[in-house]
Chains A and B, each alone.
Chain A
């Protein structure tokens, strides 16, 4: 019974008139509600307290490659939330991997051969399913099991009051780090092949030929000539990518900005040419930029987060059971709003969140692929809403792709 009237809280509380800033602070819920539900007579659209339409994302900008000591870096600003990501590559020798065995080292070789024989270039995975499956397992085995991708996110930067600098990572920072890690793994963004450093042992019997081929054979992306040699190539080391995200300014929705900065920084990342040096028994790198390679990332996953604002502030207190299916859906009366890219104020006023990560096939021309879909904290978003969120995320994808490609 109380439900419909709770939403009828007028724009100002009845007892006294307050300037908007005090109203915003004292009655945040009623303040946001008053904005979202303007009096029907005024014929105004529903608008958020920050001036955005419910489905509107904040203005986003990106810039990459400005940090000197990184292999790749990016700064992404989504409204007033700013994430800086730096990628640093270090080397993991297979000798330093306790579980490493020779069989593992050469197991990748068969696929490698096949690939080289296949097209002589990078195959598109869609074209060869069996190949993709095999490569999947291998990627997982190497990237995930050997921890080749190491993302960490820090909020201890003074980005917002309440995060003590110097303290261990807050639970929010820990959770964001792990979300990034799991998204890196499930989206298979980075190819394990880009991170392998190969070594072709010389075939002593054919020394002349070997001399001739030396340069090529030591290269990671060896030419087809290498396939003809008798000794199997082996992995001597891996690149490990330390992906550090500093949230410089936090004004809500850190994940979208953090992920965008990770994606942009990885797109900017260049790895030097590296080889096993038999004399020094170590991996050496060339500092020549022209020999360095960019990563060839799989796809372009973009994250979009949403929150649900419920007009009935006390709903959370009263709700003790999952609502029955026959209960009338309150969305009909516009009592809940799904807000895209929530700011800090809106995040504090909502329980239910959703996060979608989508990609589009064939560089944006093909169909939308859902990479990740997550929703928690309530039951207001239903199947139909999710469908809508997917299409909103797909629109956001176009926008973000343009921004990140130009940075």
Chain B
């Protein structure tokens, strides 16, 4: 049965029986058969050895991209359709800082698969340079772009793991900072909830008051390389 698997599938195409495989992402089950629900390459993930479970059949959303040297090459399209899910790692821009919370706008949802492999080799849905270039790059003055992005909140108690009660939001984030966070809840109708309470989470990019890119100086300070002035932040540990 495994031999009859197609290399690519289109929605509604029968892939195999539930007796032989478990249904993975990009598929659905109908009458004891696994069908593709998106168009893409068919992938079989072998079950971990020594377990009784079956191999998982899935249809990949990602076109395998062995090399990505040129930018002007193939005209692939943007995919905004990686939704933030619980435990997703996201990169977001701070849009508002209040006493009890910071509002951020999610720019990139990092693929889970990308997190444990070399990030430069993975090609997630967000990884289409050619596509990003077709749409406006949102400098802060484009008001309507934030409406196209998923919004999230970082509550005061989710900023860091230690000394939670001494957190002052103004000393953690500034508007315009890029923050790496992890989704803890899908939240209400308008916001996701993020946490930065881990060493590898927090501000990854920030500009100083003088307008220069700063570098991380410690877990709670970033510094302007030109003026030498330090500014407080909840800094993510650099790689």
Contacts and interface: CB of A to CB of B under 8 A. Distances in A.
B136 A345 contact: yes
Given A21-B128, A25-B126, A51-B71, A80 B210 contact: no
B100 interface: no
A343 B215 CA distance: 31
Contacts of A162: 144-145, 147-148
Contacts of B119: 17-19
A243 B215 CA distance: 54
Interface in B79-134: 80, 91, 93, 107-108, 119-120, 122, 126-130, 132-134
Contact of B107 (A25, A52, A80, A318): A25
Interface in A1-23: 1-2, 5-6, 9, 13-22
Nearest to B93: A26
Q: Max chain B CB contacts within 10 Å: which of A1, A24, A52?
A: A24
A2 B126 contact: no
B137 A16 contact: no
Interface in B193-239: 204-205, 207, 210-213, 215-216, 225-227, 238-239
Interface string A330-354: 0000000000000111011100000
Given A9-B213, A14-B213, A318-B211, A28 B134 contact: no
Contacts of A17: 119-120, 239
B68 interface: yes
Contact of B108 (A2, A26, A345): A26
Contact of B225 (A5, A20, A313): A5
A348 B133 CA distance: 10
Contact of B132 (A15, A25, A317): A25
Given A17-B120, A17-B239, A162-B148, A30 B213 contact: yes
Measured as residues with beta carbon below 8 angstroms from the partner, the interface class of chain B is: 35 or more
B103 to A, nearest CB: 17
B205 A313 contact: no
A378 to B, nearest CB: 14
Contacts of A50: 71-72, 130, 133
A160 B78 CA distance: 11
B211 A16 contact: no
B115 to A, nearest CB: 13
A27 interface: yes
B134 A251 contact: yes
Contact of A26 (B75, B91, B238): B91
A52 B72 CA distance: 8
B72 A15 contact: no
A343 B72 CA distance: 12
A161 interface: yes
B139 A22 contact: no
Nearest to B227: A2
Nearest to A30: B213
B64 to A, nearest CB: 15
Nearest to A23: B129
A348 B129 contact: no
B178 interface: yes
Contact of A345 (B107, B135, B178, B226): B135
Interface of B: 68, 70-72, 75, 80, 91, 93, 107-108, 119-120, 122, 126-130, 132-139, 142, 144-145, 147-148, 178, 204-205, 207, 210-213, 215-216, 225-227, 238-239
29 contacts: A2-B211, A14-B215, A15-B205, A18-B119, A19-B122, A22-B108, A25-B126, A25-B132, A26-B91, A26-B107, A50-B72, A50-B130, A51-B72, A80-B75, A80-B134, A160-B135, A161-B80, A161-B135, A162-B147, A162-B148, A313-B211, A343-B133, A344-B134, A345-B132, A345-B133, A345-B136, A345-B137, A347-B136, A349-B139
Given A29-B139, A49-B71, 9 more contacts: A15-B216, A20-B129, A21-B129, A50-B133, A80-B134, A345-B135, A345-B136, A345-B137, A347-B136
